[in-house]
Structure 1
Amino acid sequence: MRMQQKPHVRGHMAVLHPMRIRAEALPLADRMFNLWTFTALMLAFAAVLIAPAFAQDATPEKRSIIAVLLEWTPTLGKGFGFNVLISIMSMAIGTILGVILGVLQVSPIRPIRAVAWLVTQFFRNSPWLVLLFYCILLIPFQIEMFGTEIPFPGWIKATIGLSLPVMAYMSEYVRGAILSIPTGQWESAETLGFTRRQIMTNVILPQTVKRVLPSWMNLYAVLTMATPLVSIIGVNDVMALTRAALSAEGRIDMLIPMYLYILSWFFIYCYPISAATRVLERKYAVNT
């Protein structure tokens, strides 16, 4: 009697692919209901805030609030784009430094691990605005290199200041993701003759991407909403331009509509990121 031979399964070793459990997604009807409910609440909230301002705008010699907002939209749009640019650059710098710092937190060398932990905790628990002020005051306005003076504008200092807390949070995300990898992954890779560096770069870090990605996206949304802090230290972002517009118009009734207008921009930009974060959390849920 001939025994049935099991088919050969091609692919990578199981050690490189841990088990994954996908959480059950919410029904489409429930998701649409939540989205429409939230949108309706936001519109109702906006109507309550902006209605008094429209009521005060009854005199014919004054331009309507909508006309004023449309007139200032190109200028405010440039400022908002500046906020987005600062957030992207801060996130890029903070991510690179955070990954390095997170790897150092799991170093087998105790002094390196202790220093990395101390740096992470210091910047993670420091107020963002205080870090911005320190960067503005401590970093010179221009740097002389090889007899050439290179200017160092305030927005670059602000980018560095915002990248420091991002670095600290990313360090914690990476450290937690690395520690969540089963120890069997390390042991199996060591039996194959991989060095610790090869194990980290080829086996461990690729698996941390799915674990870190949702938190990374959520951190970017938080960072974007924190970029208006740079206006306090003299950077001409959307908030600074909004104050300039209100001063130029000289109308008290424009205060609430103008800031609500800017708030809606941040909401439209950040809410899809938060929604995508929730989707990724369900998609990349892992059994650790």
Structure 2
Amino acid sequence: MIVNDNKIPDMPPPASTVGAVGWLRKNLFSSWANSILTVVVGYIVISNLIPLIDWVFLTSDWLGDSREDCTSGGACWVFITVRLEQFIYGFYPESEYWRINTIFVMLAGLIAALIFEGTPKKGWLGAFTLLIFPIIAFYLLYGGAFDLEVVETHKWGGLSLTLVLACVGIVASLPFGVLLALGRRSNMPIVRSLSTAFIEIWRGVPLISVLFMASVMLPLFVSGETSMDKLLRALIGITMFQSAYMAEVIRGGLQAIPKGQYEAAMALGLNYWKSMGLIILPQALKLMIPGIVNTFIALFKDTSLVLIIGLFDLLAIVQAALSDPKWLGYSVEGYVFVAFVFWIFCFSMSRYSQALERKLHTGHGAR
């Protein structure tokens, strides 16, 4: 009896199960119900998407100096291009735009260097970004040193003010949130009670009320000779509000750490702060990446509420421009522009969060 030991090569998969056709059959036409739903949703999307693309791109006007240049019947992006500098810089003096541009370039360069895998000495670079760069940015924005003209904060506005509010709120709320979360889990009754009361009070009121309180009541707690800047009051209110939410996110991560990790830290003879800093928090923070970034995104969008206390962020600047008699009737273009800018920043944070999760293997499962 002759046995053929030669392995028969595998047959290729059916053409209908691979490639674009296979993806469509698997995801969109896997059953008759999914097929009907795909056709209905596809019709609705296409019937609305084509007019939208036509309005945004094909029949829109992009260049010009006034509304008279918008003659095509589509979107009038001339309104955005004419007012773009005001939307970015607010009421900042035009001769000092270079200061804001310098901050933008430095911030973009630092973020890119921190994200890039091959950057050497990332620890020092991160410390510079968190500790030294804010000082440089403050003196560039405000002035008063190195012969720079002083620009009062009431002249700040637009996208630059939105980024100031978001960056300060993000950087300040995270460490405060960590301390509040540790305090709420503390074995000391006074610390635990104070942390719990702080978190529950600040989470129980809307941010609008917090901003009003920071704007109206906060100056009452300082001496009469001290004048608190309106922007500083808003930053304090936003930081305190977001710290309460951040604390609950971090507390959830701490509770997800197995008890054995705490016992292992005690077995190594580490004190409370060393065990938290070296063992518990590094593991917990990896688990909390989605929740932390979600809180950051919410903070970035909530910066638009500072309009109610007289600060002109990006949304407020656009709304002010829409009240100009020369540009009445172009509110859709203005709000679309604001939505697109906010989406770009929020989507970028979301994508970086996902990349960071994959890098740190936070799923703890098969990839």
- Same fold per TM (> 0.5)? yes
Q: 1:62 aligns with which of 61, 68, 87?
A: 68
Match of 1:118 among 197, 208, 232: 197
Deviation at residue 49 of structure 1 after TM alignment:
7.7
Q: Is the 8 A contact 1:246 1:254 kept in 2?
A: yes
Residue 167 of structure 1 deviates from its aligned partner by 0.3
Stretches of structure 2 lacking an aligned partner (at least 5 in a row): 1-19, 28-41, 71-75, 90-157
Residue 117 of structure 1 and its aligned partner are, at CA, apart by 1.6
1:44, 1:217 → 2: CA distance?
34
Map Cα deviations across residues 112-167 of structure 1 (whole Å, 9 max, x no partner).
2122122112212321111111100112299669xxx6542222211111112210
Identical positions, percent: 25
For residues 25-57 of structure 1, what are the alpha-carbon distances to aligned partners after superposition, in whole Å with 9 as ceiling and x for unaligned? xxxx99xx9xxx9xx999768558869x979xx
Counterparts of 2:53 and 2:294 in 1: how far apart (Å)?
28
Count of residues in Structure 1 that have an aligned counterpart in Structure 2: 244
Q: Distance in 2 between matches of 1:213 and 1:175?
A: 13
Unaligned runs of 5+ residues in structure 1 are 1-28
1:84 Cα offset (Å):
1.2
Q: Does 1:284 align with 2:295?
A: no
Structure having the higher Rg: 2
Deviation at 1:240, TM superposition (A): 2.2
Moved more, 183-192 or 274-283: 274-283
Describe how 1:64-83 pairs up with structure 2 within 5 A: 64=70, 65-78=76-89, 79-83=158-162
Task: Report which structure shows greater RCO (CA 8 Å, sep ≥6).
Answer: 1
Q: Distance in 1 between matches of 2:49 and 2:203?
A: 35
Label 1:107 to 1:48 Cα distance change in 2 as closer, same or farther (>3 A): farther
- The aligned counterpart of 2:230 is 154
**Cα shift at 1:255:** 1.2
One-letter identity of the residue aligned with 1:168: A
CA contact (8 A) 2:67 2:78 kept: no
Residue 177 of structure 1 corresponds to 253
* Cα drift, residue 183 of structure 1: 1.1
Equivalent residue, structure 2, for 1:13: none
Task: Give the CA deviation at 1:228.
Answer: 0.8
SS of the aligned residue for 2:187 comes to: coil
Q: Could you list the per-position Cα deviations for residues 195-219 of structure 1 after superposition, in whole angstroms to 9, with x for gaps in the alignment?
A: 2232122221222221222221221
The CA distance in 1 between the partners of 2:181 and 2:50, in whole Å, is: 44
| Separation in structure 1 between the aligned mates of residue 261 and residue 338 of structure 2, nearest angstrom | 48
Tell me, what secondary structure is at the counterpart of 2:311? coil
Q: CA offsets per residue over residues 228-260 of structure 1, 9 Å max, x none?
A: 100121002112211221222443321111111
- Which digits, 9 at most, give the CA deviation of each residue in 1:159-209, with x for residues without a partner? 111112210111112212222111111212212222223212222122222
Cα distance between partner residues in 2 of 1:234 and 1:96: 28
Q: Pick closer, same or farther for the CA change 1:44–1:102 going to 2, 3 Å.
A: farther
Match in the other structure for 1:105? 184
**Alpha-carbon distance in structure 2 between the residues aligned to 1:45 and 1:117:** 52
Amino acid at match of 2:189: R
| Among candidates 246, 267, 271, match of residue 343 of structure 2 | 267
Question: What value does the CA root-mean-square deviation take over the aligned residues?
Answer: 3.3
Could you tell me which of 215, 235, 253 is aligned with 2:329?
253
In 2, the alpha carbon distance for the partners of 1:121 and 1:97 equals: 15
The 1-side partners of 2:87 and 2:248 are apart by 35
Offset at 1:281?
Answer: 4.6
C-alpha spacing 1:98/1:258, structure 2 compared with 1 (3 Å): same
Residue 187 (structure 1) aligned with residue 266 (structure 2): no
- Tell me the SS of whatever aligns to 1:193: coil
Q: Does 1:136 align with 2:215?
A: yes
Return closer, same or farther for 1:143/1:44 CA change in 2, 3 Å cut-off: farther
Relative to 1, partners in 2 of residues 1:95 and 1:45: Cα closer, same or farther, differing over 3 Å? Answer: farther
Cα–Cα, structure 1 residues 43 and 219, in superposed 2: closer, same or farther, change >3 Å? farther
- d(CA) in 2 for partners of 1:61, 1:183: 66
Change (3 A) 1:281 1:153: same
The answer as to whether partners of 1:49 and 1:256 remain within 8 angstroms in 2 is no
CA pair 67-114 structure 1, distance change in 2 beyond 3 A: same
Amino acid across the alignment from 1:285: G
Q: Aligned pair in 2 of structure 1 residues 47, 155: CA closer, same or farther (>3 Å)? A: farther
Checking the alignment, whether the CA contact within 8 Å between 2:318 and 2:334 is kept in structure 1 is: yes
TM-score by length of 1: 0.74
Q: Which residue identity lines up with residue 303 of structure 2 in the other structure? A: T
CA contact (8 A) 1:132 1:158 kept: yes
Matched residue type, 2:78: A
